Amino acid sequence: MERERKRTIALAVVIGLAILGAFFIFLWGIYLNRGTVNIIATPPFKVVTAEDEYLCDISPCELVWKRGVKDLIISKSGFQDISTSVNVKLWGTVDFEIKFMIDPYIETTEAFPEADPKVFYEIMLDEQTNSYKLVIAGDDEQRPIVYFLNRIPDNNIFGSENAALIIDDDIAYKIDIQNAERDRINEDFSTIEDGVWSNDGEKFAYTTSDSSYVQVLDQFNDTYETELLKEDTVYTWNYDNDLFYITSQENSHNFGIFNPEAEAYMGIFSSSELTQLPSSLIPTNNGSRIYFKVGDEKFALILEKF
Give 179-202 pLDDT, tens digit per residue.
999 999 988 898 999 999 999 999
Q: What is the pLDDT of residue 34?
A: 87
Domain extents in the chain: 1-32, 33-100, 106-302
Cα 97 vs. chain centroid, distance in angstroms? 12
b/e 187-214 (16+ beta carbons within 10 angstroms → b): bebeebeebbbbbebbbbbbbbeeeebb
Strands of 53-56's sheet, edge to edge?
53-56, 45-48, 68-75, 82-88, 264-271, 252-259, 243-249, 233-237
pLDDT in tens, the chain (306 residues): 566 655 665 555 556 555 655 554 545 455 578 899 999 999 999 999 988 999 999 999 999 999 889 999 999 987 888 989 999 998 889 999 988 877 788 889 988 888 888 899 999 999 889 999 999 998 999 999 999 988 887 778 999 999 999 998 888 999 999 999 999 998 889 899 999 999 999 999 999 999 999 999 999 999 999 999 999 999 999 888 999 999 998 788 999 999 988 888 988 888 888 888 998 899 988 778 899 999 888 999 988 754
Q: What is the pLDDT of residue 1?
A: 58
Cα 287 vs. chain centroid, distance in angstroms? 17
CATH architecture of 33-100: Sandwich (2.60)
Q: What is the pLDDT of residue 264?
A: 87
Q: What is the pLDDT of residue 251?
A: 81
Q: What is the pLDDT of residue 24?
A: 47
The DSSP 8-state label assigned to residue 230 in this structure reads G
Q: What is the pLDDT of residue 298?
A: 92
**Percentage with pLDDT > 90 across the chain:** 53
Q: Smallest Cα–Cα separation from 233: which of 258, 262, 197?
A: 258
Pairwise CA distance, residues 286 & 272, whole Å: 26
